[in-house]
Structure 1
Amino acid sequence: MTSDKTLMIVMGTRPEAIKLAPVALAAQRDGRMRVVVVRTSQHRQMLDQMVEAFGLPIAVDLDIMRHDQSLTQVTTAALEGLDRTIAALRPTAVVVQGDTTTTFCGALAAFHHRVPVAHVEAGLRTHDRFQPFPEEVNRRLTAQVTDFHFAPTEGAEANLRREGVPDARIWVTGNTAIDALRITLERAGERAAATGPERRILVTAHRRENHGEPMAEICRALVRLCERFEDVRVRFPVHLSPRVRATVFERLQGHPRIALEEPLGYEAFVLAMSQAHLILSDSGGVQEEAPALGKPVLVLRETTERPEACEAGCAMLVGTNADRIFDEASRLLSDEAWYGQMARAKNPFGDGHAAERIVSVLADALA
């Protein structure tokens, strides 16, 4: 089917690609809109992995990433590039996801051209503009120019209503992260099962507010956990940020039971989560994915825009104090009943069909 309606999907980082890939694939299957994927390449290597994993058809690559880039540099390059791209492609609507600088710039550039904006994963809030930084402000600003607010949960919907977004512009869809997880697990099959007698702790940490001493505290906690529990093995794919790598490698490299690795491709990371006993992470996406896999997650942050995971009992905010991380992880490693309670908590982020709902709304509205 040939359509005169064009859906321009904008992504710049690995999490955006993971959560927008199901939307792009669902729109292609639906066939009522032509799909154009534009990448800013705010991240390069980690985004490349996702594009390849899902076979995304990239029409334009703005290639904005520079070494040790500042937020101002990213914002300027993304906004100018997306402005040119929207003027050239003249899409019917622009889809952005989440809370990155690319997200905000994509929404603002579309608004400047009077093109409707669809925001996937709308309505997440910590209500602290510096936690996480700059993401909390990015998502609040994006909401101001959005026409289609696709909230993953009723809590996110309530946030939008409190900010004055009309009910007619909000749809509760579930989170597309669960869609991507479902697709990947179906492909992986039996490889997703845990193997070996050791208990694996999977760790990810990268947020700007955790650079420096907070990251050092996380590292101290990991060493202490290995000292206390002889059957524990830590797997730590280390983010490419020079600030993260400097701290982590200085403190953990060479430890016999802590494996420092390069960032994993998405399927490999999903398998690592499914094979883990416990997950420690400051990632937003992991807070959504781990509960779907029945894995307790300790959130290495002071606040979260995904309170549903904590409220459901699948996740716990522990911050970055080494003593607190050690105590809560030790409890999960020692208390089988407590571990089971967190592992069996119901996933609050949807059924894995959010992308289909999003595409249906857009295709009907833009027809």
Structure 2
Amino acid sequence: MKKVMIVFDTPAEAIRICPVIDKLKQMQYTPVVFIPKQVETAGIMDQILSLFGVEPSYVLSAALESQTLNQLTAYALNELSNTIKQEQIDATIVCGNTRIAFVAALASYYNDIRVTQVLSPAGNGEATSAFFGKNTDALMAPLAANRVFLGLETALSKTTTLQLDRLPITNSDTKRIILFDYHGKSNQRSILEKSFQAMKHITNTYKEVIFVIPIKLTTLVMELANRILKGQKQVYFVKPFNILEYQSFMRRAWLVMSDSTHCLEEAQILGIPALIMKDPGNSGTRQDQGVGTAINFSKVQLVDWMERLLLDAECYETITKRPSPNPKTQSIEQMMDLLFQNS
């Protein structure tokens, strides 16, 4: 029975790759799961692994006396190489562009093991957060025999069934829930002020609309909320979602408003329109992407687009049916075909 080592580092990577581990078991391969010890995300990582029934085979310790990048990398390379030899690994799957993904690919390359790299088809900031930044693609190219852009369809079929208990909304089936998914700094007064003013306008006019705002309640946020949204029973401020809560809640949302494209992969799969808000002070351009519509970050634009979607069902349906901007997305079955191809 062939053994496949799977290496991932973050909760987002875990959600993407765990269905692959289940598929490997179904195909009579032996998955050997290798992850670094989690510190900040330990709790949510445990929840994800439990949800998908995945038990790590090896956990890379983070408790080293000297923790320079050189020493951490050398330690990880040695541990991964030992695992490959001890387990007699036949193939390796690495997820993302993190340091551990690069080191696992390098260790496999040194041991003549075929490597498949799994990435998000939407990117989701992988280039900027990668171990070697924009150079990661060039460095990974000679190490990874395959590069697979794996979608979240299979994973979302499980994560979106979770119940989110801490959301105080009753009769949500009759409401149109709008998720305000703000990733910018909470002290950007003008942006939040315009957004809250748009929400006030919409909730005063459309009683079926509910806004859910997962955000850290800083002094500024509280000040603006009390001044602009005080008494608005259709607006809910909640603690920031972790990734499981976020994906679970997306199933209930009617519309997403965000200043980031991070929401687009989930929104595309679930068929939910997303308004991607661009700060007018940002000179960069942002194009429509699938269910995502790029708009200027202003009260007028926000109100105009929300009212358009609320009043024009045909416009709403047209947006939900826009094709994905990522045709290169591959399925788990296609990935399995590549795993040992020409090996």
Normalised to the residue count of structure 1, the TM-score between the two structures is 0.67
Partner of 2:168: none
Distance change >3 Å, CA 64–CA 181, structure 1 → 2: same
1:234 aligns with 2:229: no
In the comparison of the two structures, how many residue pairs are matched?
312
Greater shift, 276-285 or 17-26, is seen at 276-285
Match of 1:38, SS state, is strand
Partner of 1:164: none
Partner of 1:289: 266
User: Would the aligned equivalents of 2:267 and 2:274 in 1 still touch at CA under 8 Å?
Assistant: yes
Q: 2:96 aligns with which of 86, 95, 98?
A: 98
Amino acid at match of 1:16: E
Partner of 1:277: 254
1:178 aligns with 2:153: yes
Aligned-residue offset at 1:54? 1.3
Partner of 2:128: 133
Distance change >3 Å, CA 123–CA 352, structure 1 → 2: closer
Alpha-carbon separation, structure 2, partners of 1:325 and 1:141? 40
Partner of 1:41: 38
Identity of aligned residues (%): 21
Q: 2:314 aligns with which of 328, 337, 340?
A: 337
1:223 aligns with 2:218: no
Q: 2:21 aligns with which of 24, 27, 50?
A: 24
The structure whose residues are more often helix, as a share, is 1
Alpha-carbon separation, structure 2, partners of 1:236 and 1:18? 23
Alpha-carbon separation, structure 2, partners of 1:104 and 1:252? 44
Partner of 1:259: 237
Distance change >3 Å, CA 40–CA 275, structure 1 → 2: same
CA RMSD of aligned residues (A): 4.1
Aligned-residue offset at 1:229? 0.8
Aligned-residue offset at 1:180? 0.8
Aligned-residue offset at 1:289? 1.7
Alpha-carbon separation, structure 2, partners of 1:320 and 1:261? 23
Alpha-carbon separation, structure 2, partners of 1:149 and 1:177? 19
Unaligned runs of 5+ in 1: 66-72, 153-174, 239-243
Alpha-carbon separation, structure 1, partners of 2:212 and 2:68? 31
Unaligned runs of 5+ in 2: 166-170, 279-283
User: Would the aligned equivalents of 1:184 and 1:270 in 2 still touch at CA under 8 Å?
Assistant: yes
User: Would the aligned equivalents of 2:212 and 2:238 in 1 still touch at CA under 8 Å?
Assistant: yes
User: Would the aligned equivalents of 1:217 and 1:322 in 2 still touch at CA under 8 Å?
Assistant: no
Q: 1:84 aligns with which of 73, 78, 85?
A: 78
Alpha-carbon separation, structure 1, partners of 2:214 and 2:48? 16
Alpha-carbon separation, structure 2, partners of 1:330 and 1:322? 12
Distance change >3 Å, CA 251–CA 323, structure 1 → 2: farther
Match of 2:57, SS state, is strand
Amino acid at match of 2:193: R
Distance change >3 Å, CA 290–CA 56, structure 1 → 2: same
Amino acid at match of 2:52: F
Aligned-residue offset at 1:17? 0.8
Aligned-residue offset at 1:348? 5.8
Q: 2:59 aligns with which of 58, 61, 70?
A: 61
Distance change >3 Å, CA 337–CA 235, structure 1 → 2: same
Amino acid at match of 1:177: L
Amino acid at match of 2:274: V
Alpha-carbon separation, structure 2, partners of 1:150 and 1:120? 6
Report which of the two structures shows the higher radius of gyration computed on alpha carbons: 2
User: Would the aligned equivalents of 2:5 and 2:33 in 1 still touch at CA under 8 Å?
Assistant: yes
Match of 1:133, SS state, is helix
Normalised to the residue count of structure 2, the TM-score between the two structures is 0.71
